[in-house]
């Protein structure tokens, strides 16, 4: 497809904004996917290209969190392994099935998460004793959320963060850092499957990816510096916007 110069500027800007938002609270896809779709790309090509550009951002944020000591690969390697398996199955499944049913159900799941977070203002302020052991947690949620991210995607970061806080007992900073590593894993796996399907537009994906790198670096640096309250507020805002976007796409369009 041929694009005007201003389209490329929009792609770059959308990548930057999405990388910034996604590294703090997840939900970058609610920015990039509509931009790609609005440019005239077919849905399957938009989703595949989105995976390419989002991989840049999730990698940058993950690397920054590791460098700053918020998360260690030794602590989450089981999560990476099981997320990889789940994402591979999920992405292969989406190439065969329609995700419209999930598209209608997920907003209500996110509403429950929003309400739970809203009425628990101290949620994720300090580390607590986990309700599940690390191996069992990553076995269950690595496969489940990895599958979901490969199959559909919106809200993946939200589900990871809440699960890590409520069931693993992590504070919001550590949960956000761990979430990005899991996101990167499922992004890479999904991208690999999409590459074989021939649906990725490399020029657009790489251009948006450069925007993602800068946005993710700034956003992840803020997570390290800011208090948990800032992350919680940002998290609620992004979850709220994601809910509205999904409800509009699924029920009102």
pLDDT in tens, 98-145: 666 666 777 888 888 899 889 888 878 888 888 999 999 999 999 999
What pLDDT does 103 receive?
Answer: 67
Instruction: Give the pLDDT score at 30.
Output: 82
Tell me what the pLDDT averaged over the chain comes to.
Answer: 90
Residue 70: pLDDT band with limits 50, 70, 90: very high
Q: CB count, 10 Å around CB of 210?
A: 16
Given a cut of 80, whether residue 221 has pLDDT beyond it is: yes
Q: Are 237 and 179 in contact, with CB atoms under 8 Å apart?
A: no
Over residues 83-93, the mean pLDDT reads 91
Rg of the Cα trace of the chain?
A: 17
Return the ∠ at Cα 190 (arms to 54 and 24), rounded to 5°.
35
Average pLDDT over residues 86-92: 90
The region of weakest confidence among 1-5, 9-13, 76-80 is 1-5
The confidence band for 27, taking pLDDT boundaries of 50, 70 and 90, is confident
Q: Distance (Å, rounded) from C-alpha 45 to C-alpha 198?
A: 9
pLDDT at 99: 63
- For the chain, what percent of residues have pLDDT higher than 90? 58
82 vs 111: which has the higher pLDDT: 82
**pLDDT for residue 102:** 64
User: Predicted confidence band at 228 (pLDDT cuts at 50, 70, 90)?
Assistant: confident
Contact predicate 186/156, CB 8 Å: yes
What is the average pLDDT across 54-65? Answer: 96
Gap between the Cα atoms of 222 and 227, Å rounded: 9
Q: Is the pLDDT of residue 253 over 70?
A: no
The CA distance from 207 to 28, in Å, is: 16
| d(C-alpha 124, C-alpha 223), whole Å | 13
Residue 151 predicted with pLDDT over 90: no
Report DSSP state, residue 251. I
- Nearest CA-CA partner of 201 in 8, 58, 46, 59: 46
pLDDT one-digit tens code per residue, 177-219 = 999 999 999 999 989 988 887 889 999 999 999 999 999 999 9
Q: How far is the C-alpha of 104 from the C-alpha of 184, rounded, in Å?
A: 25
Number of domains in the chain: 1
- The region that residue 69 occupies, defined by phi over 0 for left and psi between -120 and 50 for alpha, beta otherwise, is left
Residue 161 confidence class, pLDDT cut points 50, 70, 90:
very high
Report how far residue 212's alpha carbon sits from residue 64's, in angstroms, rounded to the nearest whole number. 13
Q: Name residues whose C-beta falls within 8 Å of residue 40's C-beta, 6 or more positions apart in sequence.
A: 1
pLDDT score, position 197: 76
**Residue 77: pLDDT over 90:** yes
**Domain carrying residue 107:** 5-252
Query: What pTM was computed for the model?
Result: 0.88
* pLDDT over 70 (residue 79): yes
């Amino acid at each position: 497809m041929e694009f005007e110069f201003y389209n490329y500027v929009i792609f770059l800007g959308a990548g930057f904004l999405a990388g910034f938002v996604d590294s703090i609270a997840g939900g970058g896809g609610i920015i990039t996917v509509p931009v790609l779709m609005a440019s005239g790309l077919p849905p399957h090509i938009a989703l595949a290209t989105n995976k390419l550009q989002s991989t840049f951002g999730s990698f940058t944020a993950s690397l920054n969190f590791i460098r700053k000591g918020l998360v260690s690969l030794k602590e989450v390697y089981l999560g990476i392994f099981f997320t990889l398996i789940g994402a591979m199955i999920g992405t292969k499944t989406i190439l065969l099935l329609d995700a419209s049913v999930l598209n209608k159900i997920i907003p209500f799941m996110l509403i429950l998460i929003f309400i739970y977070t809203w009425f628990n203002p101290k949620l994720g302020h300090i580390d607590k004793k986990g309700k599940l052991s690390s191996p069992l947690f990553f076995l269950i949620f690595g496969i489940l959320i990895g599958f979901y991210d490969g199959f559909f995607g919106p809200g993946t970061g939200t589900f990871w963060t809440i699960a890590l806080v409520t069931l693993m007992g992590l504070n919001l900073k550590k949960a956000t850092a761990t979430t990005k590593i899991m996101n990167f894993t499922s992004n890479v796996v999904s991208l690999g499957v999409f590459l074989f399907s021939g649906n990725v537009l490399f020029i657009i994906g790489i251009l948006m990816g450069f925007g993602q790198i800068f946005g993710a670096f700034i956003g992840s640096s803020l997570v390290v510096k800011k208090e948990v309250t800032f992350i919680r507020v940002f998290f609620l805002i992004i979850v709220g916007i994601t809910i509205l976007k999904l409800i509009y796409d699924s029920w009102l369009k």
